[in-house]
Structure 1
Amino acid sequence: MTFYGKFTIRSGLWVYIYPLTGYLNIHRYIKFVEICKLKKYRTKQVIREKMAEEGQVTSCHTVDAWKLHMQNGNESKKLVVVDFTASWCGPCRTIAPILGEIAKKMPEVTFLKVDVDELTTVAEEYEVQAMPTFVFLKEGKVVDTVVGAKKDELQLTIAKHATPTAAA
């Protein structure tokens, strides 16, 4: 079995650090690799897509990855929540675990994370001027925006746009 990241111990668990999506429990990773082998999928991209479906916040580090995730979001017609963040931003680090918890509870929503220092063109496209900024997209169109680490407002906005009646 080929691994593309590295192993480490976090909170007493062996964890596989996947290069594009962050931390992931090794047992979940092995499960996805086995599923992909059974279905004869051979690419890392399929594994990343399967992990993103499981209610995680997926980091986009390249413009190509961004375009791919946006295309997948447009095709699935799911709500896409984009967290524009920066590594040096204190409020961004505070809200990140909260966003992760929300992502686990709402697998019907796609959660993406974009570092504005890595993907400046994407941040400029969505006119991000403060961090964190959460942009809510449906079928490629911006439906709402939340600026700042406002947990309650973020949860309300996700619930508002994730409901089937909001899509109609």
Structure 2
Amino acid sequence: MAVLAATALLAVVVDQIVKELCTKGLTEGEPVRILGGLVYLSLLRNSGAAFSLGSGYTWVFPLVTLVVVGWIGFMVRKLRSVPWAIALGLVLGGALGNLGDRLFRAPGPFQGHVVDMISLFGPYGEYFAVFNIADSCLSVGVVLAVLLELTGRQRDGGRASSRKAETA
């Protein structure tokens, strides 16, 4: 539980600090090229989900986040695995980081736009979506959870393959 909480807290804090620095230091429409153009910092306010999908339904995303948080809360009851705690902590932290934007940023509560700033290979997301730290945490957490599930690692610390052998 402590690993999950620490991972989620770290994800939210880093995400919010980076968003604050970017909103203060970057100007929309003026990308900053770094790493030889591999990465651009491009301030963007996104009312939708990934790739700006669902822009007209901004109010839905906080509700989806609450469902995800509830699901993670349900999963925590049997959590005894550090890798699963990290995966779920990343998902939780990413979800809460973007929820903070939806609740507290302009244009208003439950309609706030998520601050995105990282663009790969082009300044305006020509080749890949513009994203933020919370999005990265969500993505890495989900990929880690899928890998843990595919390799038979259980949330209670056991392995699926060893349980099958025990019951046979």
TM-score (norm 2): 0.28
- Larger fraction in strand: 1
Larger relative contact order (Cα-Cα within 8 Å, sequence gap ≥ 6): 2
- Larger fraction in helix: 2
TM-score (norm 1): 0.28
